[in-house]
DNA sequence: TACATACTGAACCGAATGGTTCAGTATGCG
DNA sequence: CGCATACTGAACCATTCGGTTCAGTATGTA
């Protein structure tokens, strides 16, 4: 369904909207970690951290595997390709929109016979 | 405060985690719009849409100006530079992480070949 | 002046979030 | 066996979210 990608963006952006979860991703970028490791690092209960990991896992950003007593968390198979793509596309639209504005400003300036240098980098 | 940038990422990723709001951003990329315009386009009440616009405005992604009865919404001065940067940084870490894995796999494959040769010898 | 339009704000609603505690279960280890 | 570790699940809690209705206010227009 078309809804699928949309729901995925919902989930991943929501996952990224929490500082703790962004921190967990950065941490897992450095090394795999158990729930206990992460809970300690971020000063919260095991249960609390497990929920965060659940959110990240649901969003496909983290995978976990339990061996013995220990559940090890690592970065998921999915990168943030779709999210990066959405943002990139948006940035293009945004740039275009302001280029348009710049053009209008340029036009006005030229009409005023003012030698205007580009304002926006 | 240092917390500022963090809170901003919180706000903008949260803003992006809703399909309606992403739609509003895309729409405003095409043309400025009133609250009424947007409410109609996304099939919800004025009040509901105003809340969404409020979230986007709070995140700095949209600006609005009221002239007469009409509040016009347009893309904000902020693009998604910080968000893009965060994701890009993450993607690099992610890539590095999997390159590492690839190397390990390569290493294993090489050893297997060597072992295989040894056995055959 | 009268009426329609466009928004605003308060109040409410059910569901989701981010966290906790507490009471398990499963596992490792001496 | 007996105890510590590591997680799990249910229940609870306050807050936020996404949406509504309803009752305004302000503005444009005939």
What is the spatial distance, in angstroms and rounded to an integer, between the CA atom of A47 and the C1' atom of C24? 14
Q: Is the CB of A18 less than 7 A from some atom of nucleic acid strand C?
A: yes
Which of A13, A23, A82 is best to mutate for the B interface (most B CBs within 10 A)? A13
What pLDDT score was predicted for residue A7?
A: 85
* B54-B58-B64 Cα angle (round to 5): 60
CATH of the domain at B14: 1.10.10.10
- pLDDT tens-digit map of B39-84: 999 999 999 999 999 999 999 999 999 999 999 999 999 889 999 9
Residue B46: partners with Cβ closer than 8 Å, 6 or more residues away:
B35, B36, B39
Tally of domains within chain B:
2
Separation between Cα atoms, residue B62 and residue B54, nearest integer Å: 9
Residues B67 and B45 in one domain: yes
Residues B56 and B11 in one domain: yes
Q: How far is CA B20 from CA A32, A57, A67, A92, B48, in A?
A: 35, 24, 41, 20, 11
Residues A59 and A9 in one domain: yes
Are the Cβ atoms of B84 and A91 closer than 8 angstroms?
A: yes
- Give residue A90's domain range: 80-121
DSSP E strand stretches across A19-108: 33-34, 62-67, 70-75
What pLDDT score was predicted for residue B119?
A: 45
Separation between Cα atoms, residue B108 and residue B117, nearest integer Å: 14
Residues A67 and A25 in one domain: yes
Are the Cβ atoms of A90 and B25 closer than 8 angstroms?
A: yes
What is the spatial distance, in angstroms and rounded to an integer, between the CA atom of B16 and the C1' atom of C15? 20
Residues A92 and A118 in one domain: yes
What pLDDT score was predicted for residue B98?
A: 79
Strand, coil or helix: A18: coil
What pLDDT score was predicted for residue B117?
A: 54
What is the spatial distance, in angstroms and rounded to an integer, between the CA atom of A52 and the C1' atom of D24? 43
- Residue A119 predicted with pLDDT over 60: no
- pLDDT tens-digit map of B34-50: 999 999 999 999 999 99
Q: Is the CB of A23 less than 7 A from some atom of nucleic acid strand C?
A: no
Residues A21 and A67 in one domain: yes
What pLDDT score was predicted for residue A118?
A: 44
Residues B30 and B89 in one domain: no
Residues B100 and B121 in one domain: yes
Nucleotides of D under 7 A from a protein CB: 5-11, 17-22, 26-28
Residues A55 and A94 in one domain: no
What pLDDT score was predicted for residue A27?
A: 97
Residues B94 and B118 in one domain: yes
Residues B30 and B65 in one domain: yes
């Amino acid at each position: 369904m078309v809804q699928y990608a949309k729901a995925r963006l919902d989930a991943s952006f929501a996952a990224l909207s929490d500082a703790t979860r962004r921190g967990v991703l950065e941490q897992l970028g450095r090394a795999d970690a158990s729930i206990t490791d992460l809970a300690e690092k971020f000063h919260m209960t095991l249960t609390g951290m497990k929920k965060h990991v659940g959110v990240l896992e649901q969003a496909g950003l983290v995978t976990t595997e339990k061996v013995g007593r220990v559940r090890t968390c690592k970065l998921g198979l999915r990168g943030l390709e779709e999210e990066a793509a959405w943002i990139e596309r948006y940035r293009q639209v945004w740039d275009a929109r302001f280029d348009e504005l710049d053009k209008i400003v340029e036009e006005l300036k030229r009409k005023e016979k003012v030698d205007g240098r580009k304002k926006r980098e």
